Each structure stands twice: as structure tokens, then as C-alpha cells.
Structure 1
């Protein structure tokens, strides 16, 4: 069975690009807002088809990626998801500062952090190295 990925970024062209690159590895669902991503996340969990991985941008209007991830982790916790079965988090963002990188790994429990400027060279190798694909 194909894995399912949630790709969240306010740039629709970027989500389409990432979904295209990952379509041979997983069913890709895209969202362009943090609040919509939360609705998608909850819906798929309730349906018994949770996302294997979430690809998250940081800077988005209304709800940033850090807040969306924090709320997704809370949903998993409330549903008593074993941490070993929690979704894999991949941060895809333009930010490469220490504060955002640290917050992603330590608070969001990210598997990897990829800067958008390195997407073409790093996406597939990083996902393979982290056994996500």
C-alpha cells in the first residue's frame, strides 16, 4: 500500500512541485494553509488513514508551520498514538536560522530540515537517508 504524505506550504506552485517529485513514492495531499492542514490531518486520522509524513513550511499566514505541527502532535497525543507510529516531519522552508532549525527538531520532532533553495539536490537523498521513502 502506498504511503500518504501531507504537503503544506502557502505557495501553490511549490506544493505542486513537491507533490510531483514525491508522487511515485506516496499519495500526496496538499494544503496551502496551516488551519486547512489541521483539518486534513484530523480527517485522515479519524478515517483510519493517517499521514505517514508531513512536509511543512514555517512561514505562512494565519497559522505558521510551528503552530500547525504543535497542534498535529497534540492531536496524535490525544488519540494515544504511540510515538513510534507518529508521523514523520520534514520541514521544507526558506529559513535556515538556528532558532527555526532547533525549534523544528526539538519541539516538532522533525526527521529532517530541508531549505527550499536546496530542494532539487536534497529532497530525495534526505528522505532516503531517513528511511521515509
Structure 2
């Protein structure tokens, strides 16, 4: 459906896009939303299953997310599986790799294997360890080109 380059050109170039926050912990979701809200609209999901459904809906509505903040340990579908499914959704919709959503893992996990698997097998773009510091998240957004310097 979105295979033509017109989709990428019209939806992805220069338009403000929404962010998706995925975490089963209310306080973590709320804090990330508090940080991100001044810069973009934020949707939230409590688990990976909700995240994948929201991601599919956003693509279908031609309002794709440019950022997904994803916890790894969640009920239903965990973050690693949700990331793989999100990347599959993008591939199925013909989203060019350069236009894919940036996925930042936001997790308390310090396990090098889990982090490695999420980064390289799950398709994550970056990792921030909880508790998330506002300055670290904003720095990462700038590094990823999702926020301009003021």
C-alpha cells in the first residue's frame, strides 16, 4: 500500500511526527511523556502488543511515529519482540530504512546480552538506562536528529 516513494516523500520529509512511549510502569510512561510533550504529541502503550497495534494504526493513518521509547521487560509482548514486529510492519509497508522510526530502549536492564540482542537483533537505535535523565534523553534526541538545537 505504501510502496511508492510518494509516501516517504510526503509523510517523512520535514513534517512533525508523533512519539510512542511503551512501558508497563505508569510513572516511567508519565515521566517520558512529560519530557517529550513540549516537542511532539505523545501516545502511550502499556505493553508490546499495544505498541505494535498503535504503530500499525499510525502507519495506516499516514501519521507514523518518528520515535518509540521502549521498555524491554513488559507483559504480553516484551520490548524485544515488539521491536522486531515494528520493524516487520515498516518493511511490510515499504518504509525505507532511512525513514524508519528511531527506537530508544529505556530499561533498567544492565545485562549486556539482553541489551546486545535488543540493539542488534531487535532493531533498536539507542539505549538509555533507567532511571532516565531528562538531559540524557534530550541529548540523544539531538544526536538522532529528532530535535533541533535552540
Please give the TM-score of this superposition, normalised by the length of structure 2. Answer: 0.83
Check if 1:19 corresponds to 2:33. Answer: yes
The answer to whether the 8 A contact 1:6-1:31 is kept is yes
CA RMSD, 1 decimal: 1.3
Match in the other structure for 1:103: 117
Aligned length: 133
Equivalent position to 2:106, from 75, 80, 92: 92
Match in the other structure for 1:55: 69
What is the deviation of 1:111? 2.1
What is the deviation of 1:121? 4.3
Describe how 1:38-53 pairs up with structure 2 within 5 A: 38-53=52-67
Q: Which has the larger radius of gyration?
A: 2
Structure 2 stretches lacking a partner, 5+ long: 1-14
Cα shift readout 1:30-53 (whole Å, capped 9, x = no counterpart): 111111111111111101111111
